[in-house]
Amino acid sequence: MTSVALLGQILDYANRADPYPLYAELRRTPVVRDESGPYLVSTYWEIHSLLHDPRVSSDIRNLAPEAKTGPRTDDPDLPPSFIRLDPPDHDRLRRLIMRTYGPPHSPRRVYGLHGEISGIVSGLIDRFQGREQIDLVDDFSYPFPVTVICRLLGVPQEDEQRFHGWADTVATAIEPPVGTPEEQEAHWRSIREAHHQLADYLSGLIEQRRRAPREDMISALATDCGADESPMSLPEMLSNLTLLLIAGHETTVNLITNGMLTLLRHPDHLKQLRADPDLVIPLVEELLRFEPPVQLLPERTTLDDIEIAGTTIPQGASLWLVPASGNRDPQRFPEPDRFIPDRPDNQHFGFGTGIHNCIGSPLARLEAQAALAELVRRLDNPRLVEDPPPYRHNAVLRGPRHLPIAFDGLSR
């Protein structure tokens, strides 16, 4: 293992449009300590091993103060969300959330959204009528998953303007601090304030649903009596609903936008999808490998010495996993830098793996499949206005901030 200075370059906005050459350089040494302190792991099998290793902690309370990306990535007045915890606390909260969302307690909640999702997609595309250019992010990729997650959770869609800014601010908490100490402190103050405002808003919704439950996830959590185990406390609900609201749309925005950008860069595959809509199922899996919406998994820590790829990562070390690099590892994927829509054996890290694999993956897949298939079918001669497009500053949740697309018209 050697010391490198690649993390700063990966986080540098100048490399946001194409970080993959940096990942290739990083993979030359599977486990390396960055000069800024954390150990970086960039190869597929090593990442896979560590994501299944109980000696790797996701609990932010186990991090050394100097290893955190900020004072805290959660509201200091609330407990961590379940993805920031280890078993058994993680397992209990995850089970309670899954009771409201998926099998065996709520097996049809996501399946029942099929029709609504198709209607939302069609309605948003209908609004393009009479136009020659759109910004895919503002006109489609953002409003679509926000509408879906609001309906799933039970958040009024008309409140989107209220929580949009709070959610965007809170999502920046996973980024390492930049700027002067004064600028960093101002940044974290804004995050804490956004957390408080969002928590106050969600508290009101929880109280409403306790008095008058509906068919939504907030009602289910608010009225769960915990027959099998203790129900969530109010602070736990606030932490985890904040996570679900933000994660339920942020990553899907990137998945859809990255997907359309990739298809427009590969017009033969776009035509192939238009001719064969069923191709969208493996194609979305390849997008999750080729341009994953979550590029980095920061703020892990080791609970013991861990030897991997000939390197010992000491107990208490800060650990960053780079799944977007593992997805392009030639030791795992033949021709990893080629976009192959029907790639076989595509066990990517697009939704993670292990105990922290994304619980929202069935919904995200459904949304991306519906969105891309219908955009490709209905947009006549779509083409990029600029390439590369402007990207969001966030290196962890990487995706274009805007994606201008020109087209000649709409099919019915």
pLDDT in tens, 235-269: 999 999 999 988 888 899 999 999 999 999 999 99
What is the CATH classification number for the domain harbouring 306?
Answer: 1.10.630.10
Residue 170: per-residue pLDDT: 81
HEC secondary structure over the chain: CCEECCHHHHHCHHHCCCCHHHHHHHCCCCEEEECCCCEEECCHHHHHHHHCCCCEECCHHHCCHHHCCCCCCCCCCCCCCHHHCCCCHHHHHHHHHHHCCCCCCCCCCCHHHHHHHHHHHHHHHHCCCCCCEEEHHHHHHCHHHHHHHHHHHCCCHHHHHHHHHHHHHHHHHHCCCCCCHHHHHHHHHHHHHHHHHHHHHHHHHHHHHHHCCCCCHHHHHHHCCCCCCCCCCHHHHHHHHHHHHHHHHHHHHHHHHHHHHHHHHCHHHHHHHHHCHHHHHHHHHHHHHHCCCECCEEEEEECCCEEECCEEECCCCEEEECHHHHCCCCCCCCCCCCCCCCCCCCCCCCCCCHHHCCCCHHHHHHHHHHHHHHHHHHEECCEECCCCCCECCCCCECCECCCEEECCEECC
Cis peptide before 107 (omega within 30 of 0): no
pLDDT at 73: 47
Q: How many CA atoms lie within 13 A of 387 on its CB side?
A: 13
Q: Is the model's pLDDT at 355 over the cut of 70?
A: yes
Whether residue 210 has pLDDT greater than 80 = yes
Amino acid at 39: Y
Number of domains in the chain: 1
Share of the chain above pLDDT 70, in %: 94
> What's the CA gap between 179 and 190, in Å, rounded?
15
399: tokens are: 């995706």
pLDDT at position 1, please?
Answer: 54
Contact 32, 26 (CB under 8 A): yes
392 burial level (CB within 10 Å; 0-12, 13-18, 19+): buried
Q: Dihedrals φ, ψ of 358, to 5°?
A: -65, 120
Please give the Cα distance from 93 to 300 (Å, whole number). Answer: 19
User: Does the pLDDT at position 66 exceed 60?
Assistant: no
Percent of the chain with pLDDT over 90: 74
Residue 71: what pLDDT? 45
Strand partners, 31: 41
Q: How far apart are CA 31 and CA 313, in angstroms?
A: 9
Domain span at residue 64? 3-410
Q: How far apart are CA 306 and CA 317, in angstroms?
A: 10
pLDDT 10s digits, 384-399: 999 999 999 989 999 9
CA–CA gap between residue 124 and residue 127 (Å, rounded): 5
